[in-house]
Amino acid sequence: MIWVIFTTFMIYTIFVMWFSWYKTKGTDLSSQDGYFLGGRSLPGLVIACSIILTNLSTEQIVGLNGQAFGESMVVMAWEVSSPIALIIMAFVFLPRYLKTGITTIPDFLEQRYDLRTRQIVSVLFIVGYAVAYLPTVLYSGALVLDSIFSITTITSMSPFMIVLLISVAIGLVGCGYVILGGLKATAMSDTINGIGLIAGGLLIPILGLIALGGGNLQEGVNHLLTANPTKLNAIGDHNASVPWAVLLTGMLFNNLFYWATNQSIIQRSLGAKNLAEGQKGVLFAGMFKVFGVTFLALPGIIAFFMYGNTLANPDLAYPTLVGDVMPLALSGILAAILFGAIMSSFNNALNASITLFTLDIYKPIFKPQAKDKELVKAGRFFAAGLAAISVIVAPFIIFAPQGLYAYLQEMFGFYSMPILAMVLVGFFSKRIPALAPKVAVVVHVILYAASKVVLADINFLYVLSVLFPLNVLTMVIVGRLRPRETPFVLHDANVVDLKPWKYAKPFSIFMIVVMLSVYTFFSPVGVAEVSVPYSPWLFVFLFAVLGLIAGIIWYWVKMEKRYTCYKTDESKKVSSF
């Protein structure tokens, strides 16, 4: 039985490897753009699939379904609200990124502020990937693969050793892609795995509903809709993991950081052959996120109705469901697809890390005159070392608290908001100095750490709702006190065609309509019921945050105008003299 699963797993995995090699064999990997950005040649579909696979690793598939199992459809907010951030990415961030011809986000921060800001942010990203993200991807992937291949049952090894062995396997294969093929190899493997993940991901809830209905799909759907309608409610109250009031505040800010400034995600779109293809890739990924709820939250609800409270760990909901409902002949293919999803997140975070290290730390600090071949070589050595550290750390996550996905998001909160503030303020201001982002980072880390002690019971999305505007306000105040001597001008590198996709706006409008329809369906207006009345304080909180943002924008605009008028008056005085 296990040999059937293993054989189909190897056939699919080897096919993906061959496909990636075939599609990248003509790419020049000795140059920076060729290795780190795929030669700036990626089309929209490849970008979309790569973004999706980078995002959809097992830490999300396992983690979100585990949260849905323990809570309700409210966790679908992590998926269904993402298109708002991706639309903003397509129209606000991406045109400016491609115009400047940057390779990394810190690259832009150096252009806008200074080298030290670039290096601070690069170190924050690398530490976050190495300590939290990469090991968690390996750990959650081990849970799924162990469930499909029944490694624990066959070998009687400890969970610690199983996680270690699977992590080593993923690390070796992942390094092969990144070290030998660069970004384009990972992007091409993501394309084929993306198609498989969509098909396999949709199959799990269908098979789960059939099992829930005792072999009848319609009975399973009826049971899902009528057994406990409160589990289908996506509009969270004040006690939910995602209260509705944070959807346009803390959740939006968190999503903007992730989809528009997170290096491992946006590096795909930076490799676009032109703006139109980049916008296609970003917006196609956004549409996919709307429907991602079908395999990132719904299987967790189905598992709840099938297993009740018999599972000791909610993170076992998805692996258990897959092991019980997936036909033997398809188990190996699904395992290969999930293995591809694990590798995608691992590869792309690893690729982002070595890009940050090589271009933002190694070259400017250790070897300013290094040629492209030397940079690529240094990046490959760093990739091997970082992968080794991640493999060693991964098994120890077994001792971490439950709810790994929420834990990861909270840890990202230590540096996500100041980075987002740096980029946005950098886009829309001319006089904010290099000192401002450094002060913002210090203020944010102190306040966020304090919130974990003083406001330990408060949802971290409430905290982000307030801290992001405060980060912006901090930078604006520093700019008011110590403005730049010369105004910043966004550099045009003229590396790709910046003509936008002509269907970008209508496609975005359609996507928002679909997103609102999904939310309406999983609400008291649709098929769900409310267990606890919504608190009026959520309205107060929402309007307070929106008022704070409006006040900051007003002060910012007033400051910019006043400074411009002041400089104009000074110029007139000098001229008349």
pLDDT in tens, 61-79: 888 898 999 899 999 999 9
- C-alpha to C-alpha distances, 137 to 65, 69, 94, 390, 408, nearest whole angstrom: 15, 20, 27, 9, 10
pLDDT of residue 563: 64
Domain boundaries, the chain: 2-362+408-491+499-576
Cα–Cα distance for residue pair 277/500, rounded to 1 Å: 8
Confidence of residue 45 (pLDDT cuts 50, 70, 90): confident
Tokens of 24: 């990248």
Q: Buried (b) or exposed (e) across 205-238, using 16+ Cβ within 10 A?
A: bbbbbbbbbeeeeeebeebbeeebbebbbbbbbb
pLDDT of residue 577: 36
Q: Specify the higher pLDDT residue, 35 or 443.
A: 443
Cα–Cα distance for residue pair 107/358, rounded to 1 Å: 12
Q: Picking from 42-51, 102-111, 250-259, 560-569, which range would have the lowest pLDDT averaged per residue?
A: 560-569
Span 562-573, average pLDDT: 53
The matching CATH number, chosen from 1.10.10.10, 1.10.1240.10, 1.20.1730.10, 3.40.50.300, for 2-362+408-491+499-576 is 1.20.1730.10
Render 379-421 in DSSP notation, one character per residue: HHHHHHHHHHHHHHHGGGGGGSPS-HHHHHHHHHTTTHHHHHH
Tokens of 238: 């004040």
Q: Specify the higher pLDDT residue, 302 or 354.
A: 302
Task: Supply the pTM of this predicted model.
Answer: 0.83
Q: Picking from 58-67, 176-185, 319-328, 476-485, which range would have the lowest pLDDT averaged per residue?
A: 176-185
Span 150-167, average pLDDT: 81
SS3 42: strand
pLDDT of residue 99: 92
Exposed/middle/buried for 327, CB within 10 Å: 0-12, 13-18, 19+?
Answer: exposed
Residues 297 and 65: beta-carbon distance below 8 Å? yes
Cα–Cα distance for residue pair 133/95, rounded to 1 Å: 28
Q: Which among 362, 416, 321 has a CA at the least distance from the CA of 124?
A: 416
pLDDT in tens, 91-101: 999 999 999 88
Highest mean pLDDT among 82-86, 322-326, 359-363: 82-86
pLDDT of residue 574: 38
CB 557: neighbour CB atoms within 10 A? 11
pLDDT in tens, 120-148: 988 888 888 887 788 888 887 787 778 77
Confidence of residue 102 (pLDDT cuts 50, 70, 90): confident
pLDDT of residue 309: 78
pLDDT in tens, 179-220: 554 445 555 565 666 667 777 778 889 999 999 999 999 999
pLDDT in tens, 420-431: 999 999 999 988
* Residue 89, pLDDT above cutoff 90: yes
Confidence of residue 17 (pLDDT cuts 50, 70, 90): low
Looking at 213-231, list the stretches that DSSP marks H as alpha helix, in order from N- to C-terminal side: 217-226
pLDDT of residue 553: 87
* Residue 29, pLDDT above cutoff 50: no
Confidence of residue 27 (pLDDT cuts 50, 70, 90): low
pLDDT of residue 1: 54
CB 455: neighbour CB atoms within 10 A? 12
Q: Specify the higher pLDDT residue, 208 or 176.
A: 208
Span 249-256, average pLDDT: 95
Span 510-530, average pLDDT: 94
SS3 148: helix
Exposed/middle/buried for 563, CB within 10 Å: 0-12, 13-18, 19+?
Answer: middle
* Residue 268, pLDDT above cutoff 80: no
pLDDT of residue 226: 93
pLDDT of residue 297: 92
Cα–Cα distance for residue pair 55/282, rounded to 1 Å: 12
Render 419-437 in DSSP notation, one character per residue: HHHHHHHHHH-SS--THHH
Q: Specify the higher pLDDT residue, 574 or 410.
A: 410
Cα–Cα distance for residue pair 440/446, rounded to 1 Å: 10
Tokens 């709307």: give the residue: 290
